[in-house]
Chains A and B, each alone.
Chain A
Amino acid sequence: MKKMNEEERKILSIRFVVVSLIFLALAGLEGLLMRFRILNILTEFFDEKHFYSMMTAHPFVGVYGWAYMAVMGAFYFLVPYILKKDIYSKKAAYASFWLMLIGTLTVWTTTFITHYAPLYTLYWPIPTAYEIIGWDIHSILFFGLGVTLILGGVLVFFANMFATIFLPLRHTDGASPSPWYVIRELLTTAFNLDKIKAKIKKTPEYSAKAFNYPVFVVAVFRGCVDTTLNAFVIGGVGLLLTIFAVSHMIPGAAIPITAVDPLIYKNVFWWGLDLIADGNVLIFTAGTWYLIVPLILNRKLYGESVVRTVILADLVVSLFVWNHHMLADTPQPILLQVQGQLFTWGELITMGLTMFAVLATMWFARPVKYTAPLKFVLASIVGYAVGGLAGIIQANYASNRFFHNTQWVIGIHGHIQLLVGLSLTLFAAIYALFPLLTGKALDEKLASLHLILWTVGGLVMGLSMGLAGTLGMLRRTLYPMGLGPYEPYMFYATVGALMLGVGFIVFLVNILKTVKISDLLKIVFSSKY
């Protein structure tokens, strides 16, 4: 197999990052338009159906198009760079890029053209109830295919990552070990099974296999476990929708809506979907912090051995927290509700220790010269603290009576975690990687302006939404009869969104000031690879 040299890996990473930024711009534009529409402005520009289809596309474009593709771009460069190995499969690397791109575009265009709007929650039977809601059956088919393609891309990426980390290179020794070897190595290392076995056998001085890998790589493969399981579930839903649509196009083959139990489906769906929050949003973030902070400060990460254990603990916690999304479902057994609440608190420990390790590393490196990536990491900690605390509050069986599905959930918890927490971490990675990928550093003053606008904008938007939520404003809905007491909060949320938009433009100006757009386009559309 042809080797993928470092230059080609750089180009692949740049392609992923450029496409992810285009998707971020698209998701941001959609978000801004929706903010205006919620204020009952632009009502002539797009109707309610268009609004809800936009609301369906927005998280797919934002999460899979932006966050996943940016993470993939960074990891395709960083994992081989840190391990001093090549990517296991060049074909799979390109396949994941195209599957993600085509899948996200399919979801976006389907919702845009057909106004199909089941939202990202896809609660059964809403995505399939086309006769009641009035959707075109073809829109279910194309949407299902788009979702399947995206999650197919995610699975190909993670399989490639696992193989890159755990397998010897095929092109160097010619051998092709069985996939079971990778799965065995992955499970052993991800869950520290070898260490448990050594303890049972009372093997003295045994060091777990996970200690053979840099802590960043441990976070990558452990986060990949969560996100792989997520891909099977959400990809499975995409496949289910595709099969459902096809069955309704063939006379006499229609699968009835009642074939799927809505509550069991919702449990499986949230079990899978919440794994994104842990795998992508928390563990990948932790991994990125663990890489950037010690690298820039030229110090070891504080409490590295504990951090490895924390990453493992978070993997276990993440498998049992999904019920905090279902606290308002009264047919759900009470024991599951309590379980969801208790395990959510587990994230306080794992994320709390992660933040502590990063802050302690910085503290012992005083005096710290803050470069852009470090500033972004510090601000992202604010995002996780503010959003995480809101999450713990709403994940309570009693308080969920008035917080569930309100602007509190999506504003203070959802958007602050994603925009101020995760996105600032991804920007930190881009600022840190930019010189490695292009040989040029971005302007520090513009980076600071980007940081201030983005952080303040994200907080203003999220907190305003949260305040409206405590007053009873729901998420996932327009108020066509008027916003009433929620209106001032939605106005401030729009101001925050505009600040985010200006911050992003400052970031683009910084990039285009550093690298010529023609050079960037040459890399993205290079026919060399």
Chain B
Amino acid sequence: MAPQLIIEYIYFSIIAIVIGFIIAFYILTQRGGDRREDPTEKQEEKKGMEKGEKRWLIFLLTILVIGNILMLSPILPSAKYALWLEDEPRLTITIEVKNYEFILPEKPIRVPAGVPVEFIVVSADLLYGFGVFRKDGLIVFQMQVVPQPYTNRIIWIFEEPGYYDIRSTEYSGPKHPYMYVPDAIYVVGG
């Protein structure tokens, strides 16, 4: 399964819990309760954190640390994409973008599956985007194309053979939606 779909399931599970919690909170806070003594009055005297606040802060800090470790480590399925940047490319493909057109070295660009491929994209005029899409519309990867003097570079390993489309992923004027090249890349099975 594509990593974005895994992330989507995890995300929706968490927000279902959040929404459920707020609904329960709304119901519970209307019922009963003893209108307890205002804890902030005591706090004024000691100028410190309440016990509940401390616990909550520790919980948030724990999430922060775990979250960052997860996000920066190779455990997360998508993290491998960042690590691929360190790989030595077996093939380099240079694409120029000019006047709303992708100028490809060949069509389709033939690349082998399972090996690091470097894409270098340069723009002669505007800021564009460079995205590679599966035939069912799912994004495989993308990057911004900052115009010259900058060179935009990404290394990718295609895992599945087949045809892929190229589309500009950044708005660059009303002609932008036509920057679409179907079957621009053909990944040869490894």
Interface residues of A (CB under 8 A from B): 48-49, 51-52, 117, 119, 121, 123-126, 129, 132-133, 262-263, 266, 299-306, 326, 328-331, 338, 341-342, 345-346, 348-349, 352-353, 356-357, 359-360, 362-370, 378-379, 381-382, 385-386, 389-390, 392-393, 396-399, 401-406, 466-467, 470-474, 476-481, 484-486
Contact = CB atoms under 8 A, between A and B. Distances in A.
A476 B52 contact: no
B105 interface: no
A473 B137 contact: yes
Contact of B4 (A381, A385, A403): A403
A48 B142 contact: no
B139 A406 contact: yes
Given A329-B144, A401-B78, A363 B40 contact: no
Contact of A479 (B36, B139, B152, B177): B177
6 contacts: A133-B126, A266-B146, A331-B150, A353-B56, A382-B18, A404-B169
Given A123-B127, A402-B78, 5 more contacts: A48-B177, A51-B174, A349-B61, A356-B56, A404-B169
Contacts of A476: 170-171, 176
Interface in B60-102: 60-61, 63-64, 67-68, 71-72, 76, 78-82, 99
Given A303-B53, A342-B68, A389 B78 contact: no
Given A472-B139, A477-B171, A486-B137, A303 B43 contact: yes
Contact of A366 (B33, B38, B63, B174): B33
Which interface residue of B30, B40, B52, B152 has the most chain A CB atoms within 10 A?
A: B40
B57 A263 contact: no
Contacts of B71: 341, 396-398
B171 A125 contact: no
Nearest to A351: B60
Contact of B57 (A49, A126, A353, A480): A353
Contacts of B36: 364, 366
A49 B177 contact: no
Contact of A349 (B41, B53, B60): B60
Interface of B: 2-5, 7-8, 11, 14-15, 18-19, 22, 25-26, 28-36, 38-41, 43-44, 47-50, 52-53, 56-57, 60-61, 63-64, 67-68, 71-72, 76, 78-82, 99, 125-127, 129, 131, 133-134, 136-144, 146-147, 150-154, 167, 169-178, 180
B127 to A, nearest CB: 5
Contacts of B131: 474
Contact of B3 (A133, A304, A362, A402): A402
Contact of B53 (A119, A346, A353): A353
B134 to A, nearest CB: 8
Contacts of A352: 56, 60
B125 A129 contact: yes
A366 B146 CA distance: 55
Given A370-B30, A389-B11, A472-B137, A396 B78 contact: yes
Given A123-B127, A392-B67, A329 B14 contact: no
A401 B4 CA distance: 10
B129 to A, nearest CB: 7
Given A121-B171, A299-B38, A393 B22 contact: no
Contact of A126 (B127, B140, B154): B127
Given A349-B61, A484-B137, A399 B4 contact: yes
Contacts of B151: 331
Q: Which 10 interchain pairs have the tightest Cβ spacing?
A: A366-B33, A300-B40, A476-B171, A398-B78, A133-B173, A472-B139, A402-B139, A331-B150, A398-B82, A368-B29
A302 B53 CA distance: 9
Given A382-B22, A405-B170, A362 B138 contact: no
A454 to B, nearest CB: 15
A303 B40 contact: yes
